[in-house]
Amino acid sequence: MHPSTGEIRVAVLGLGYVGSVTAACLAHLGHRVTGVDRDAYKVASIEAGRAPFYEPGLADLIQEGRAHGRLSATTLLEPAIEQAEIALICVGTPSERNGNLGLDQLRRVCSQIVTAWKGDSRRLIVAVRSTVFPGTCEELTAECLGDADRFPVVSNPEFLREGNAVRDFLEPSLLVVGGAAWSAVEKVAELYQPLGVEACLVSLRTAEMIKYACNAFHALKVSFANEMGALSGALGIPGAEVMDTLCRDTKLNISPAYLKPGFAFGGSCLPKDLRALVYRAGRLDLKVPLLETVLPSNDEHLRRAIRKVMDLPAARLGVFGLAFKENTDDLRESPVVALLEHLIGKGRQVRVYDPHIRLEEIYGSNQRFVLAAIPHIAKLLESRLEDMLEWAGHLIVTQPPAAAAAASIRRSGLPVLDLTGLQ
């Protein structure tokens, strides 16, 4: 750890798993922390130097914080925030029956902060560490806190796993702080400076969404590994060996590859192999719901793109890219072909340019696929990008253009709908 840049006074509101670990670890980093909870048992445990529940390493940090006078706990909110610079909210946000988050505890704490702060003109940073859906922090400002200058709200999501929470805090894999008031964002990020980890400073809603993206991805990985293991087992193949080997590819598999919003996938491999996996699983009477939904998910993403294109006001639409991805002339199951089919069917005027497509050079299954979908594709293809740009009223980009093509597009001054970054 890096040496602390200075003590910050923090009130941690809520002493469950996240709050207790956060309070003890912040005290360990050199800050002066007061934990608040309505549960007298949790408060008494911390005051006595004990952990209110079992978590490896937590009891030692609580004892250390108490011994050095940097950690205390109380059932009363007002004295806890009286000298605080940051109120770090760690209350629960349980699921309601319909799946929505229950925000009653969060709203109650925010209202109590406002009541306790009456008569005090100082700024109190309200940092929400609880998991909340994007837009929640803005709602709290509008509904409960009111004065955004007096109570700047920051999102500081936690990434702590029960059973490993202390280590996850002190050796974070990700540190996120988001908000509109940049001075407040930087002040919350300063709490973690002794860890020597660069914080990702983002907008308020982005910080809230990152937490959901991480948890959804973790759940996705568990489900994927379980389905591949089940399918492997049904075929007499050791699933652990399959997944262990998959994880050795850190260029494409365990990497940032493919993890960017963009256009729908296509090509000769992914759709075909997903269909085969799902079909064979069915033959084995094995349900693989996650794998079964990948192609429908891709189809829905393509429909979202089509709706965006159909909303364009221009009569003449230029499309950059025809192959299923850049740097290839493979048209098999290209989502662009499906897009063109829809546009033509709706009577839109379309011209297409792809730097690697020459219709006279396409043959075999590649040729059969595109001609079956769009028999008159030759009439739509432009051999020069400049000709399409001069004709079009709006440009649709379906694959990343090379530098020279990108420069030509910029010079054209055409409005562009870039489907490669579709959100």
What digits encode the pLDDT tens for the residues 123-179?
999 999 999 999 998 988 888 888 778 899 999 999 999 999 999 999 999 999 999
Active site residues: 269
pTM: 0.88
Q: How far apart are CA 397 and CA 420, in angstroms?
A: 7
pLDDT band at 1 (very low <50, low <70, confident <90, very high): low
Flag whether pLDDT at 2 surpasses 90: no
Give tens-digit pLDDT for 250-283: 999 999 999 999 999 998 899 999 999 999 999 9
Q: What kind and span of H or E run contains 169?
A: helix 165-170
59: left (phi over 0), alpha (psi -120 to 50) or beta: alpha
Give residue 162's identity as a one-letter amino acid code.
E
Exposure string over 135-160, b if 16+ CB within 10 A, otherwise e: ebbbebbeebbeeeeebbbbbbbbbb
- CB under 8 Å to 97, separation ≥6 — which residues? none
3-state SS class at 9: strand
- Partners of residue 178 on adjacent β-strands: 155, 202
